Amino acid sequence: MRGGSATGGLFAAAVLLAVWQGVVWATGAAPFILPSPLRVAQALWTSRALIAEHGVVTLAEVLAGLLLGAILGAGTAIQLALSPIARRLLLPALVFMQAVPVFALAPILTLWLGYGIGSKILMTVLIIYFPVTSAFYDGLRRTDPALLDLSAVMGGTRWSELWRLRVPAALPDLASGLRLAAVYAPIGAVIGEWVGASKGLGYLMLLANGRAKTDLMFAALFVLALGAVALYVLLGIAARRLERWSRTGR
Amino acid sequence: MPPGLRLTGRLDLAPADGPALPPLSLTAPAGRWTCLLGPSGVGKSTILRLLAGLPTGVGFEGEAGGDDRRPLAGRVAWMAQSDLLLPWLSVTENVMLGARLRRQRPDRARAREMIEAVGLGPHAAKTPSELSGGMRQRAALARLLMEDRPVALLDEPFGALDVRTRAEMQALAFRVLAGRTVLLVTHDAHEAARLGHRILLLTEAGLAEVEPPEGEPIRDPAGPAVLAAQARLTRRLLEPDA
């Protein structure tokens, strides 16, 4: 993130905190309805070990889901780009899959894969699979046709054309798909945890909510949001690097 | 000895654009420069693509290939108006692209020779974004030379360059492609007059052979023979039916 937008972000956060505190003062809301920012900060500090323990689980789910989803999505995009049969069979299935609200699958995934992290990882994979596939496939499809002509005249094979020309040219598109995936991935993991889990920030939030420990709930939410933003920023940096590389080679 | 080129048949360009072209019969002699001159959209590039064995998206009934009646696949190299250099590769790696695409071991020493031959020696490690337009076309020319094919199909490769750079590139290409069969597609009458052993004019009225200026190419770009021929050719481009 550049200096300007970082400053802007801090400013926006400060305004939000001020409004929040203002609402607490003005309405006199009970702490279990709306805790003040200060109480949340205290909960964050006193429960730091607990939050960290659950945060690590959610982080593992998100990272594993991202990795698997990226591999599956990129693989599918390559299949689609290479094979007309795959396009005819897979594209309608993909669009259909995208139309199904993946959240609705969470209970059945938990039923099948149990309360462990497997069902959460699968949930994350399902959520990011489509954006990764479609972004990368779009990039692969947009290869300059003149480059493909050049490859044909040079006697390039379909595979070498793919690896030497089309994939490198489409890497920035893959990266922007992954940047989008970074936004969705934590949602997938948390939904999975809500449906049934014994660990993770989503589980902790649900637990805290049920026991009217709203300050802990907010503290867990804060950590979750922080992690999601960090992931987004990191993948954004990677995307910009790739973008520059594909234009200038550095 | 490189093969000459021949294309005979009927080219069915978009029928909505008026009358269809009369049947074509085009030959390009072996080892010489043939310039195919004509306005945009008349089918020059399509002819080049047919000879290169590339998909054209238009109907064609006839034959396109070498005058030895064998297909040209594997015997042609191709250069287009845009340099088609991969921005993420160095000049050297771009020059060796053909070998990589064919999954062969690239010959680095030869790549260096070709890069030297087009005068890019000091820039071999740079990426295309660090080169000027003229230098990029030089790199594309080195890539074409690296392919070492007997036939070179050039699709307006110098069209985007300024006058002086274009003249330099024409001279360089003419020198390094000596002995090969070259078919150059261009809409620039001056370029055709300067470079063609043979000049073919393709207009809506069909294909016609035009007497090249006197003297062997490459000709003096500012000399009276080239400029007179340029005037003649321009007149015919302006009034294709006259």
Q: Is residue A2 over pLDDT 80?
A: no
What is the ipTM metric for this complex?
Answer: 0.91
Q: Is residue A3 over pLDDT 60?
A: no
Nearest neighbour of B100 by CB, restricted to A164, A169, A245: A164
Q: B127 — contact with chain A (CB < 8 Å)? A: yes
What residues make up the domain containing A134?
A: 34-248
Place of tokens 């607990």: A50
pLDDT at residue number B140: 96
Burial B70-99 (b: 16+ CB within 10 A, else e): eebeebbbbbbbbbbbbbbbbbbbbbbbbb
Nearest neighbour of A160 by CB, restricted to B52, B80, B103: B103
- What is the mean pLDDT of the segment spanning A134-156? 94
Nearest neighbour of B102 by CB, restricted to A144, A154, A165: A154
Lowest-confidence pick of A5-9, A45-49, A84-88: A5-9
Q: Where are the alpha helices (DSSP H) in chain A?
A: 3-27, 37-46, 48-82, 84-99, 106-113, 117-141, 145-154, 158-161, 167-195, 201-210, 214-248
Residues A151, A157, A160, A166, Cα dihedral to 10°: 50
Residue A93: give its domain's CATH number. Answer: 1.10.3720.10
Q: Residues of B with CB below 8 A from A152's CB?
A: 53-54
pLDDT at residue number B16: 55
What is B5-75+149-238's CATH number, 3.40.50.300, 3.60.20.10, 3.60.20.30, 1.10.3720.10?
Answer: 3.40.50.300
3-state class of A121 per DSSP? helix
Domain count, chain A: 1
Query: Could you read off the pLDDT tens digit of each residue along chain B, which spans 242 residues?
Result: 899 999 998 887 765 555 667 788 999 999 999 999 999 888 898 999 999 999 888 888 888 889 888 888 889 999 998 999 999 999 999 999 999 999 999 999 999 999 999 999 999 999 999 999 999 999 999 999 999 999 999 999 998 889 999 999 999 999 999 999 999 999 999 999 999 999 999 988 889 999 999 999 999 999 999 999 999 999 999 987 76
pLDDT at residue number B181: 96
Is residue B172 within 8 A of residue B166, CB to CB? The reply is no
- Rounded Cα distance between B116 and A105, Å, is 62
Q: What's the gap in Å between the CA of B62 and the closest CA on chain A? A: 21
- What is the mean pLDDT of the segment spanning A133-161? 94
Q: A 53-82 residues with CB below 8 A of B?
A: none
A88 occurs within a structural domain: yes
pLDDT at residue number B20: 66
A90 occurs within a structural domain: yes
Q: Which of B166, B147, B175, B157 is nearest to B77 (CA)?
A: B147
Is residue A175 within 8 A of residue A238, CB to CB? The reply is yes
Q: Is residue A62 over pLDDT 90?
A: yes
- What is the mean pLDDT of the segment spanning A94-101? 84
Is residue B9 within 8 A of residue B62, CB to CB? The reply is yes
Q: Which of B37, B60, B41, B40 is nearest to B50 (CA)?
A: B60
| Alpha carbon of residue A113 to chain centroid | 21
A6 occurs within a structural domain: no
pLDDT at residue number A1: 47
- What is the mean pLDDT of the segment spanning A125-154? 94
pLDDT confidence bin for A156, thresholds 50/70/90:
very high
- Whole-Å CA distances, A226 to A85, A128, A152, A186, A231: 43, 19, 49, 11, 9
A26 occurs within a structural domain: no
A20 occurs within a structural domain: no
Q: Which of B189, B195, B191 is nearest to B174 (CA)?
A: B195
Residue partners of B18: CB distance under 8 A and separation at least 6: B204
3-state class of B107 per DSSP? coil
Q: What percent of chain A has pLDDT over 90?
A: 71
What is the number of alpha carbons within 13 Å of residue B43 lying toward its C-beta? 28
- Rounded Cα distance between B207 and B228, Å, is 21
- Rounded Cα distance between B63 and B66, Å, is 10
Place of tokens 């070990």: A49
Could you tell me the residue ranges of all domains in chain B?
A: 5-75+149-238, 85-148
